[in-house]
Amino acid sequence: MKQEKRERHAKILATLNAASSVRVAELAYQLGVSTETIRRDFDEMTRAGQLSRTYGGAVRALSAEPHAQAQPRGLLLAERQRIAKATVDAVADARILLIGSGETAVHVARQIALRMKDITVVTHSFAVAAAVGENHRIEVMMIPGRYHPAKASTTGGHAIVFLQSLYADCVILGASGLTGDGPSHALPEIAAVNTAMLNRAARCLVVADQSKFDQPFSTRFADWPQVSTLVTDAPPPAGLRKTLETNRVKLLVA
């Protein structure tokens, strides 16, 4: 395999490790190649068992993931649990919560189920709904829309229209990356729902572990002045921390 192709495949796997799914058009733009090249890469990587093709994109391999990819997420389990506990402390007074998708959001949902009651949780993530639904004293409302199989979430116009009539005390959102420009997501469909949720809540908490620092992704879903609090597991790099201070974003390091 040519060096250029090896490097491209490595970048595709790195993106999948961070976001669980990728789109052909996004990768072509990010890597400066044609969509046909990305499709050929996907075909080769599918045959090698490195990923699984979807309509217009790809997701992590449906079989067991390679150890090199699985290990970082396992190492971050304790960090995400700390983030989740700190997040619940920060929203203890909320009665209506909006929650986005992602692994950290699911950890938050589990803590909410353990520690909160007599509240309403609205989400587009089936994993979040299932976790919170373990507590029968929490009302769970699913946002309607088109099912996104890679994220097990609803997206699209129906989701956004539904959110326009909703109000929440707080919204809790994960992110693929955090830069000086704001939190971003690898999937535009998810980013669009995140923005719609953000616009319907009095406060926004972004929950993300340190692996997201200075990682830019295709779609920014918020500007930092719109974010009330960043909950993370380690102090951000100096540049990002300065941006948070400038925009009066509260930093909670769990």
Count of all residues that appear for the chain in the document: 254
**Taking each helix axis from N to C terminus, what angle separates 3-19 and 35-47, rounded to the nearest 10 degrees?**
80
User: Can you give the pLDDT at residue 63?
Assistant: 43
Strands of the 119-123 sheet, one edge to the other: 138-142, 119-123, 96-99, 168-173, 201-207, 229-232, 250-253
Q: For residues 249 and 71, what is the distance between their CA atoms, to the nearest angstrom?
A: 31
What is the C-alpha to C-alpha distance for residues 14 and 184, in angstroms, rounded to an integer?
A: 16
Give the DSSP H/E element, type plus range, for residue 186.
none
Count helices and strands in the chain by DSSP H and E runs: 10, 15
Quick one: which H or E segment has residue 41? helix 35-47
Q: What is the dihedral of CA 14, 19, 24, 29, to 10 degrees?
A: -70
Nearest to residue 103, comparing CAs of 150, 166, 45, 50? 150
The 10 Å Cβ neighbour count of residue 14 is: 12
Q: Tell me how far apart the alpha carbons of residues 91 and 13 are, in angstroms, rounded to a whole number.
A: 35
- Phi and psi torsions of 78, nearest 5°: -65, -40
Tell me how far the alpha carbon of residue 69 is from its chain's centroid. Answer: 17
- Cα–Cα distance for residue pair 32/242, rounded to 1 Å: 31
Residue 126 pLDDT: 92
**CA separation for the pair 73, 52 (Å, rounded):** 19
Q: Which residue has the tokens 């400066």?
A: 32
- Domains for the chain: give ranges and CATH numbers: 3-69 (1.10.10.10), 76-253 (3.40.50.1360)
pLDDT tens for the chain, 254 residues long, are 577 888 888 888 877 766 667 788 888 888 889 999 998 998 888 877 788 777 778 877 654 333 333 334 444 788 999 999 999 999 999 999 999 999 899 999 999 999 999 999 999 999 999 999 989 999 999 999 998 877 889 999 999 999 999 999 999 999 999 999 999 998 899 999 999 999 999 999 999 999 999 988 889 999 999 999 999 999 999 999 999 999 999 999 99
